[in-house]
Structure 1
Amino acid sequence: MATVKDVAKEAQVSVATVSRVINHSPKASKNAIQAVNAAMKKLGYRPNAAARALVSQSTQTMGVLVGDVSDPFFGIMVKAIDTIATEQGKHLLIGNGYHSAKKERDIIELLISQGCEALVIHSKSLTAEELITFANEIPGLVLINRFIPEIADRCIALDNQKGSYLATDFLIKHGHQHIGYICSNHDIEDTEQRKAGYLQALKDHGLAHFESHIEYGTPDEEGGEQAMTKLLAKGLPLTAIATYNDYMAAGALAALEESNIEVPSRMSIIGFDNGLIAKYLHPKLTTVRYPIQKMAENAATLALKLANKEKPVTDTMMFVPTLVKRLSVIKR
């Protein structure tokens, strides 16, 4: 395996010159750059990333913590971050937290130990206190989909309660008074915020809240199907269902089809997130848009600017969801 000394000998320059070329020093002449690059190509030499980091004081990497990268939601998030990172000559290191405090903590520690100065963190299980500690340690750490008042200027979040309120309000304004809610059973702030939005909309319209109208499940198709099945088994006079996310809505649609209940003629249903699945369901799903791509772009830009000690341009920190009207809701 070729060494830096071999490259210097082949290019007929000093080791110091090779180092300057590798680390893109402005002191390297055009002739030296050409000679060193030609020698590295001929010898098959690849600069050691760790060694370059010692010289440049930067690993050129950006860390990202997601819940589960196999989830299309996080796929969109990572792609948006990668686009911004690539523009700045950075590469991503990605870890899955799976909504586990231990795994989230371990991933953040790993990303820091790997020299990532800019971090975009999607953490739902670590306490606010622990995340504040990490933020104080790493100036380029930004939270996404999490709001902590003490570090509000480092948080890119969505008003989840507002989104669920909009969904329920939309159903009520379409004449529905008996509205069920399919809720996630994950113990995270999104769950409480979205349920709170549903309850607040009922209250503001003078409609009674019945705990029997709410069922819980894992925030996926299976959880939604099981929750809808439980609601149907109660024999409630429901005419509409608001759901925690589009996947639970998809599961609910499956349960309704199994019971020969047509949507939306007999039951209206509304989702949350406006994921890729929403417009391919039958009927096409009315839902709440979660602007994760734009949020991720803002988070990545903010993290990189903070890591570079640049003053970030004021931009949207708290995003407001909007309705996407399709075919799964009709007037009563």
Structure 2
Amino acid sequence: MITIKEVSDRAKVSISTVSRVINNTAPVKESTRKRVFKAMKDLGYRPNSFAQGLVTNRSNNIGLVVTDLLGVFFGPLISSLERALRESGYNLIISVENYSSEEIKETIDMLAGRRCDAIILFPYCLTDEELIALKEKSPPLVLLNRYVPELAGECVIVDNEQGSHLAVDYLASIGHSRIACISGPLGNEEGRARLSGYRRSMENLGLSYDKDLVVEGDFTVEGGYVATQRLLKRSRDFTAIFACNDQMAAGAMKALREAKLSVPEEISLVGFDDVEYASLLYPALTTVRQPVNAMGKRAAALAIQSIQGERRAQPAPMFEPELVLRDSVAPPKTSPAS
């Protein structure tokens, strides 16, 4: 087993200099750092992470708390996040199945007990007050897809309302006036923001907001399928559907096909997220893209900055969504029929 003394001999520096380089506890000339790292690589030396933690009071572990890994949003996000953390020498510990506030709090306590230096959190059901309280007694927190004014510097979020505006405004611009909406779960901040954007856009365009054309979904394919069936039973008085994520749009497409309604000839369809398979659906799905990779990188950067004691003077701007035009939207051929 290679020792730190062998590294110091190989790099022609003192043992204390090797220790400072490994633990990053004091400034060392860049040329010396490179020499030490080269010696470590040549010898195959691996620092003892437990011993490092005792010296630095850090574990170099960052926790991620999410609801599940079933959705297509979390996969690309986690890949981007872990890649950015690895490049900076941090490990990612992931906890799933966190659906209730108690489960989330227990998981945060567990990660803190494992000495995670920071926690990146998808706060599915926690109130603003609960998040503020957690911030006071937990490792540094970074919030995904949630905005809390008191924690603005730690929030990573896309402008969900603007994404809905892009979808609805485009549909209206090509002639649609009766636009149905399948919202996300309204207990979810993301779901509420996207529905709010839909409603405000309809009102700003002078189009009537009809509650009968809005159905609450659950961000799943099955939820979109069932919601579309409910819409069709209520009325056929619409020519377009805005589904508040791509999974529900895929379910809506299936329900419309079973009802012998063609997309986009009879019903136009727009999703939200631009997941990997959106372009592979038939017809290819017009959707609102959120920059998931960039969001993962920013979450990693904010977590690392918090660990190092750096605080943002001002909150980072929200990420801007982008409308991606494909084949699932067309101008309405006729007025909607009852």
TM-score (norm 2): 0.83
Q: Which runs of 5+ in 1 are unaligned?
A: none
Distance 1:215 1:199 in 2: 13
Question: In structure 2, what is the Cα distance between the partners aligned to 1:216 and 1:139?
Answer: 35
Amino acid at match of 1:151: L
The one-letter amino acid of 2:22's match is H
Report the Cα offset of residue 47 of structure 1: 6.8
Q: 1:230 matched to which residue of 2?
A: 230
Report the alpha carbon displacement of residue 331 of structure 1 after superposing the two structures with TM. Answer: 1.5
Report the secondary structure of 2:70's partner residue.
coil
- The answer as to whether partners of 2:287 and 2:323 remain within 8 angstroms in 1 is yes
Query: Corresponding residue for 1:126?
Result: 126
Q: Distance in 1 between matches of 2:308 and 2:251?
A: 45
Which residue is 1:246 aligned to?
Answer: 246
Shift of 1:136: 3.0
In the TM superposition, residue 223 of structure 1 has moved relative to its aligned partner by 0.7
**Partner secondary structure for residue 222 of structure 2:** helix
Deviation at 1:141, TM superposition (A): 1.8
Deviations 1:56-95 (A, max 9, x none): 3111111112221232211111111111111111111111
- Whether 1:321 and 2:309 are equivalent positions in the alignment is no
Paired residues, what number? 320
* Matched position secondary structure for 1:72: coil
Q: In 2, distance between residues paired with 1:197 and 1:184?
A: 12
Structure 2 CA distance, aligned partners of 1:159 and 1:122? 16
CA distance in 1, matches of 2:316, 2:53: 33
Pairing 1:78-89 to 2, within 5 Å after superposition = 78-89=78-89
Residue type at the aligned position of 2:157: A
For the residues of structure 1 that align with 2:141 and 2:193, how far apart are their CA atoms? 24
Q: Retained in 1: the 8 A contact 2:141–2:154?
A: yes
Q: Which moved more, 1:131-140 or 1:56-65?
A: 131-140
Counterpart contact for 1:99–1:123, Cα < 8 Å: no
Equivalence for 1:24: 22
Alpha-carbon distance between aligned partners in 1 of 2:103 and 2:68, rounded to the nearest angstrom: 11
Tell me the secondary structure at the aligned position of residue 73 of structure 2. helix
**Map of 2:63 onto structure 1:** 63
Q: 2: CA distance between counterparts of 1:121 and 1:10?
A: 41
Q: How does 1:177-256 map to 2 (within 5 A)?
A: 177-256=177-256
Using a 3 Å threshold, how does the CA distance of structure 1 residues 293 and 10 change in structure 2: closer, same or farther?
A: closer
Aligned to 2:275: 275
- Deviation (angstroms), 1:240: 0.4
State how far apart, in whole Å, the 1-side matches of 2:205 and 2:5 are. 81
Distance 2:306 2:185 in 1: 35
Report Cα offsets for 1:286-318 as digits up to 9, x if no partner.
111111211121121011012112355978431
**Structure-2 separation of matches of 1:261 and 1:34:** 67
* Aligned partner of residue 167 in structure 2, secondary structure: helix
| Change over 3 Å in CA distance of 1:185–1:311 after alignment to 2 | closer
2:273 counterpart SS class: coil
Q: CA deviation at 1:225?
A: 0.6
Aligned pair in 2 of structure 1 residues 117, 317: CA closer, same or farther (>3 Å)? farther
| Letter of the structure 1 residue corresponding to residue 153 of structure 2 | D
CA contact (8 A) 1:139 1:306 kept: no
**1:24 partner SS:** helix
* 1:285, distance to aligned residue in structure 2 (A): 0.6
Instruction: Tell me if the contact between 2:218 and 2:224 (Cα under 8 Å) persists in the aligned partners.
Output: yes
- 1:162 matched to 2:175? The reply is no
- Would you say the 8 A contact 2:160–2:193 is kept in 1? yes
> How far is 1:320 from its partner?
2.0
TM-fit CA distance, 1:198: 1.2
* Matches of 1:312 and 1:161, distance apart in 2: 24
SS at match of 2:110: helix
In the other structure, the counterpart of 1:102 is 102
C-alpha distance in structure 1 between counterparts of 2:152 and 2:217, whole Å: 31
Match of 1:77 in 2: 77
**CA contact under 8 A between 1:96 and 1:107: conserved in structure 2?**
no
Q: What is the percent sequence identity of the aligned residues? A: 34
CA distance in 2, matches of 1:154, 1:192: 21
Change (3 A) 1:183 1:54: same
The 1:312/1:150 distance shift into structure 2, 3 A limit, reads closer
Deviations 1:212-269 (A, max 9, x none): 1112232111110111111112232211001110000000000111111110011000
Q: Deviations over 1:88-144 (max 9, x none)?
A: 111111111443212211222122111112222111211212211222335632112
State the one-letter code of the partner of 2:164: S
**Match for residue 307 of structure 1?**
307
83 and 314 in structure 1: CA distance in 2 versus 1, 3 angstrom threshold:
farther
Evaluate the alpha carbon distance shift between residue 57 and residue 170 of structure 1 in structure 2; reply closer, same or farther with a 3 A threshold.
same
Give secondary structure in 1 for the equivalent of 2:242: strand
